[in-house]
Amino acid sequence: MKAITKTNVVKKLFFLAIILASLTTSAQVSDKFTLSGSADVYYKANISGTNQANEDGSFLTPPTSFADRSGFSIGMANLIAGYEGEKVGFVADLVFGPRGEDAVFLSVGSANIVNQLYVYWNVSESVTLTMGNFNTFLGYEVISPVDNFNYSTSYMFSYGPFSHTGLKADFALSEDFSLMLAVMNSTDHTEFNLDGSYTAGAQLGYKDQYVNFLYGAQTGMPEKTFQVDYTGGFDVTDMFYLGINTTYNTTDGAGFYGFALYPQVSASDSFSIGFRGEYFKEFEGGAGALGMYNPDGDADIYDFTITGNYSIGDLTFKPELRYDSASEDIFVDNDGAPTGSLSSFLVAAVYSF
């Protein structure tokens, strides 16, 4: 999905040292400074397919982002520093590790460790302006495993935007209604605009239900991209929550759409269990996840994932079973034969502070 960007390791370490030194100084002089973050690791094994890597080092795994390595592996380390003044503030969100690499390192023009970097101005009680690099407002799932119930991610999230760089304005229209308007570089072009292409974004919210829009030119694309997305959820009871996400994306006739439900049940203060049921469809080649296996560029897949969350203080264990069933033979079974389905298991440990 992304183009690889090479960087100088020494420069990265020097840059990080300066930032951490600055953050330490800020923390000593103001109680409005915050520092949070997370660390996650996991073990994953395919049940109905091989766990051997391909010659290029990739694994035969569901073609979604993150959690795609067999055996014991690491996710990412995440450090988020922020300062909230009376009217203005900033957020600097740094990531390290394979999960961060998939989300940030391979972005065109990425600074490699910067997941988000933005400043904001509270113009009034109802208007906030934000400028910089921020994670996408589309979709139900996010990059950080702390804020996702499932550890592995969906197809809609994996092939939608990850991040944007630009200027956005958030409006609190009333107690229930909100509006966001944005002008941004091409999707995932985090540091600069390569060719003068800009994308418009909008979000209309009502009681935690959001309709999101993306429209504009994308670097390297002959036609403009349009995406509409609904993200929301409902507390059915005190113990039962139902999350919903549906999206449609097209560029010059090619694209994808999908739908997912996220029912979650809280069994106790420390344990909950949740399910993700997703349908994802590509047409005219789509995002290249499945359509490349079909001469017409059309293919679809179902993803069924059940995940437990067991918390011990700030540490959460996430055992997970996943089953993917595609219309094309995109997987390989234990005998090395092409197949359209794959079952897998993982257990992740996520620490947050």
Q: What are the boundaries of each domain within the chain?
A: 40-352
From the first residue on, what is the mean pLDDT of each consecutive set of 10 residues in the chain (353 residues)? 39 49 48 92 94 69 89 96 95 92 65 87 97 96 96 95 94 97 87 85 97 90 91 96 97 92 97 98 84 79 98 98 95 89 97 97
pLDDT for the residue 332: 87
CA–CA distance, 345 with 112 (Å, rounded to integer): 30
Superfamily grouping for domain 40-352: Porin (2.40.160.10)
* Residues 331/46, Cβ–Cβ less than 8 Å: no
pLDDT for the residue 236: 96
pLDDT for the residue 4: 32
CA distances from 324 to 65, 151, 340 (A): 14, 15, 8
Sequence length of the chain is 353
Strand-pair partners of 277 = 261, 304
pLDDT for the residue 105: 56
Alpha helices in the chain (DSSP H): 9-29, 98-100, 155-159
Does pTM surpass 0.85?
A: yes
Q: CB 132: neighbour CB atoms within 10 A?
A: 19
Closest CA to 46 of 14, 69, 13: 69
